[in-house]
Amino acid sequence: MDKPRVIVTRRWPQAVEQVLQRRFDVKLNERDAPMSFAELQQALREADALCPTVTDGITAELLDTADMRVRLLANFGVGFNHIDIAAARKRGISVTNTPDVLTDCTADLAMTLLLMVARRAGEGERELRAGRWQGWRPTHMTGAKVTGKTLGLVGFGRIARAMARKAHFGFGMRILFHTRSPVHAEVRNALGATPVANLDEMLAECDFVSLHCPGGAATRHLINGARLAAMGSRAFLINTARGDVVDHDALIAALRERRIAGAGLDVYPGEPQVPPALLGLDNVVLLPHLGSASDETRIAMGMRVIDNLQDFFDGRVPQDRVV
């Protein structure tokens, strides 16, 4: 029998691509640049499965392509708000993602951002590299202590829980969280975490706020001007979730006017563009969407996609089926 045709929209780790090529009839994106709308349309017509990433807008318009062959969108990543799930369901296209395997690395990066912005690590490195450092002195570049402070988590899924564990047991932080989903008492107690039903009330109590909720219409600009004001001038915002969860115009104003102490960002609306005003602010740490960017994790994500592909083409329900 002919192998299923699989099209991959970006380059993946070599070890994963080798397995893909053994198991499937694979077309790779050799230039590793985002595919255009027309290229994605053609891929939907040619492939049995398309493997997109967060950089690919799988919209309702795209999924209205005539003569589609695609039966599966096997997403490389846990988030899938770049895929119009309702349109995929309407067209009878299955969707999978890659949960679990990127949990710790993303939580590690959220803690990295928290530590960097609190201790002004980005500012310090820029000063040193520019040759401006004049030596140790008592008042030089003092930041905020992390150990023992209060961390508020918006969302309490796998990544938020991993961060709670690292922050509570590693840094003695008090953990608050806000989520719409029920959380068993034994889970809360094991992480030393306290639920807060009202988001605004939680924000007012926090020294650090870290976002771990999905993107999309339901959470767009969840963190707006009023909620940044509720955080107060000593608090820091950390975002490794999705860029559109934050109103970046309001965030830029709050950072400029020191209405919050700082921010650590790994995600942005309209990536890879970053709001230019952020680039000139010293009280924000900016990373280029590195949440899952370790060799081990990216390979594990790719292998998880392969497992989903194999399940689908062998007639089984994929373990990570979204639709």
Are 249 and 277 contained in the same domain? yes
In a domain? residue 321? no
In a domain? residue 323? no
In a domain? residue 322? no
Catalytic residue numbers read 242, 271, 289
Are 304 and 273 contained in the same domain? no
Q: Which residues face 195 on adjacent strands?
A: 177
In a domain? residue 161? yes
Are 117 and 252 contained in the same domain? yes
In a domain? residue 49? yes
Q: Where do we find the tokens 């005539």?
A: 66
In a domain? residue 70? yes
The amino acid present at 222, given as its one-letter code, is: L
Q: Where do we find the tokens 């392509």?
A: 65
In a domain? residue 275? yes
Are 300 and 157 contained in the same domain? no
Q: Rounded CA gap, 46 and 58, in Å?
A: 16
Are 269 and 137 contained in the same domain? yes
1 has a pLDDT exceeding 90: no
Reported as a single tens digit per residue, the pLDDT across 56-108 is: 999 999 999 999 999 999 999 999 999 999 999 999 999 999 999 999 999 99
Candidates 105, 111, 141, 113; CA nearest to 262 is 113
Are 213 and 264 contained in the same domain? yes
Reported as a single tens digit per residue, the pLDDT across 105-150 is: 999 999 999 999 999 999 999 999 999 999 999 999 999 999 999 9
Are 93 and 114 contained in the same domain? no
Reported as a single tens digit per residue, the pLDDT across 246-281 is: 999 999 999 999 999 999 999 999 999 999 999 999
Parent domain of 109: 103-286
The structural domain count of the chain equals 2
Are 222 and 261 contained in the same domain? yes
Rounded mean pLDDT, 224-245: 98
- Rounded percentage of the chain residues whose pLDDT exceeds 70: 100
Are 82 and 135 contained in the same domain? no
CATH number assigned to the domain comprising residue 268:
3.40.50.720
- Give the sign of the dihedral formed by CA 201, CA 204, CA 209, CA 215: positive
Tokens coding 66: 């005539």
In a domain? residue 319? no
Q: Rounded CA gap, 289 and 266, in Å?
A: 5
Are 67 and 124 contained in the same domain? no
Candidates 284, 287, 245; CA nearest to 266 is 287
309 has a pLDDT exceeding 90: yes
Rounded mean pLDDT, 18-32: 97
Are 253 and 193 contained in the same domain? yes
Q: How big, in percent rounded to 5, are the helix, strand and coil portions of the chain?
A: 40, 15, 45
Are 299 and 261 contained in the same domain? no
